[in-house]
């Protein structure tokens, strides 16, 4: 990221962007940089972050997987870990293309490729499975639909409300792992509609998914429809589900829940590989 982009980041169309407690928009640190960990196994895992987030939300899980011998790749989806203007300029087509290219790069060095995504990253993982570009999916906090009307009508309101902020959460800084909660304080209204359209595409084509999908969701996730995991499981051919108790939406960097999430991701990877002792 050049200095011009770096200087523009706290602004959106010339107006300053206010700060949200617990969210850090400094993307120059190591935690927010894309990563590739070469492993001893022939299974590669592609880590995909969520809407307005960054690869930092997936890096701790990536390190756990690397320590178990997996080859792991984490990317910043176009428009993320950059500036709000960049997010507005890069929509679902750019997001899908980057994920497709990453899956193909991972395939070049691995026999088996698994997509592991949180929130929007879970949606993109499902789309990769619909396109037969991965051999399995580990979906974390993925939405089957949207709760907030703004996600559907973002383009219509963008002229009067171009930027929408995430809800303030004073406890977020204490809930999340220090140094890894790096993302935007809000999002362009137009980008919300891009996310809505992405989810709709995934839902339309979900019957094309033939691979194994391991679903993880919190019982108290207040960001996505709570019946998301149930709806996924009802449409997909081969699934396993795991529910978290009282975990936040971004459970991949939750101090309290990280070890449990990591154990579930490892279980999901083993199940997709066919190396889980309890596999059927």
Among residues 162, 147, 163, 158, the alpha carbon closest in space to that of 196 is found at: 147
Q: What are the sequence ranges of the domains in the chain?
A: 3-17+26-273
pLDDT at residue 15, as a whole number: 76
Q: How confident is the model at residue 3 (pLDDT cuts 50, 70, 90)?
A: very low
Q: What is the pLDDT of residues 118-162, one digit of tens each?
A: 999 999 999 999 999 999 999 999 999 998 888 999 999 999 999
Separation of CA 235 from chain center: 21
| 43-48 and 112-118 beta bridge pairing | parallel
Q: What is the pLDDT of residues 162-215, one digit of tens each?
A: 999 988 787 888 899 989 999 999 999 999 999 999 999 999 999 999 999 999
- Is the pLDDT at 25 greater than 80? The verdict is no
Could you tell me the pTM of the whole model?
Answer: 0.93
Q: How confident is the model at residue 21 (pLDDT cuts 50, 70, 90)?
A: low
Pick the CATH number of 3-17+26-273 from 2.40.50.100, 3.40.50.1820, 3.40.1010.20, 3.90.110.10: 3.40.50.1820
Q: What is the pLDDT of residues 109-125, one digit of tens each?
A: 999 999 999 999 999 99
Measured CA to CA, the distance from residue 264 to residue 214 in angstroms comes to: 9
- E strands within the chain? 11-12, 15-16, 35-37, 43-48, 71-74, 112-118, 136-140, 163-165, 186-188, 212-218, 238-244
Tell me how far CA of residue 39 lies from CA of 4, 73, 109, 269, 276, in angstroms.
Answer: 37, 11, 10, 14, 19
| 71-74 and 35-37 beta bridge pairing | antiparallel
- Is the pLDDT at 37 greater than 80? The verdict is yes
pLDDT at residue 162, as a whole number: 93
């Amino acid at each position: 990221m050049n200095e011009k982009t770096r200087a523009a980041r706290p602004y959106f169309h010339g107006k300053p962007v206010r700060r949200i407690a617990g969210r850090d928009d400094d993307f120059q640190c190591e935690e927010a940089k894309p990563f590739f960990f070469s492993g001893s196994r022939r299974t590669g895992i592609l880590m995909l972050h969520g809407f307005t987030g960054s690869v930092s939300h997936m890096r701790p899980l990536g390190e756990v997987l690397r320590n178990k011998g997996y080859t792991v790749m984490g990317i910043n989806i176009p428009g993320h870990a950059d500036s709000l203007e960049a997010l507005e300029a890069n929509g679902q087509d750019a997001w899908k293309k980057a994920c497709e290219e990453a899956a193909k790069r991972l395939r070049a060095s691995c026999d088996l490729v698994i997509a592991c995504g949180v929130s929007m990253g879970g949606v993109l993982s499902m789309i990769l499975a619909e396109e037969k570009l991965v051999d399995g999916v580990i979906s974390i906090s993925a939405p089957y639909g949207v709760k907030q009307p703004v996600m559907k009508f973002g383009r219509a309101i963008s002229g009067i409300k171009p930027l929408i902020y995430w809800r303030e959460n004073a406890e977020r800084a204490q809930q999340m792992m220090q140094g890894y909660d790096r993302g935007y304080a809000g999002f362009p209204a137009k980008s919300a509609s891009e996310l809505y359209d992405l989810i709709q595409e995934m839902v339309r084509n979900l019957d094309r998914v033939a691979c194994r999908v391991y679903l993880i969701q919190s019982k108290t996730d207040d960001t996505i429809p709570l019946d998301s995991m149930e709806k996924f499981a009802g449409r997909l051919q081969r699934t396993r589900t795991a529910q978290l108790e009282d975990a936040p939406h971004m459970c991949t960097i939750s101090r309290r829940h990280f070890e449990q999430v990591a154990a579930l991701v490892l279980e999901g990877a083993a199940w997709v590989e066919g190396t889980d002792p309890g596999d059927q």
